[in-house]
Structure 1
């Protein structure tokens, strides 16, 4: 069955999406044992550039290493999207990473209509702060916030199979591996095709 047979009424989507987003924003900032999680702002562009300009960070992201103008354009696009939310990961007053959430009305087969909301998840962390459990701490807190305060029904994440630490993080947080798109994307240097993993967490899983 074609995915296009599922209804996704984008004309009506802003109402439940905006409400879910507003509830999450209203619950920020959040404090974990080591981090402050807050909305990203234009003042964070330089900090974001410090890690999104690094090949080891962007290798598994949707963009190559960014120059300053590219980082500025990216953050401006992020903050201008009413159906998304960008969260800064702050450690000791320094932004060391970010999380990105995309919201949409859950799909429904016509004539059914739903007010439920799904979210997509992405994240990046400065390599100087990796392998310390900070990503798990941050993503876990935001995921719980999205499911609880936001009332989001389902969170999804796509991870290249080669990015094993990201897959392990999602598994630790209770995400389920729903499937793998085999040989889906050509690696940046060419010559190798990466599998693309599809992960999800339902509100009912908890």
Structure 2
């Protein structure tokens, strides 16, 4: 197992993945549950909701994506889209769906009106931390993953398919599987332009 710094450093986007796993489904569930339990949130609001889809349930998600996109893009454009979905996302072992609970956010807005405008932003921060944590731990377990955003196009169909609360707002989708190839080289902007230190 990597140190946290090592795991963060090698976390990348993988688009060529297979439907294989080096760990048990139970261990994947533990990764998700660990993140949901331990990732911080503003006011300890715990607004993030996560759905783990494996096997046929994972494939259902990407069929929903294709069915949705087929209705709104040209036939020619859909061919490329379908290939991308089938080879980069549906080909994986599973998917993690990230939601934020609007009811909790709205309750905080009412309880603390001074921060009314900030709670939706802080909610997104919480989701982002969950995404990074789960992504990093999945990769450390041998998976490759990427973060996708087919919301809001698929929101209603996803809520209906899995009987989820309507107040859950879909934020992102993370397909994962064993990588077939290494990711491309990552370019870094100079840290001098991104970090300022005062002593």
User: Shorter-chain TM-score: which interval?
Assistant: 0.3 to 0.5
TM-score of the superposition, structure 1-length normalised?
Answer: 0.34
Question: Higher helix share goes to which structure?
Answer: 2
TM-score of the superposition, structure 2-length normalised?
Answer: 0.35
**Which one has more relative contact order, counting CA pairs under 8 Å at least 6 apart?**
2
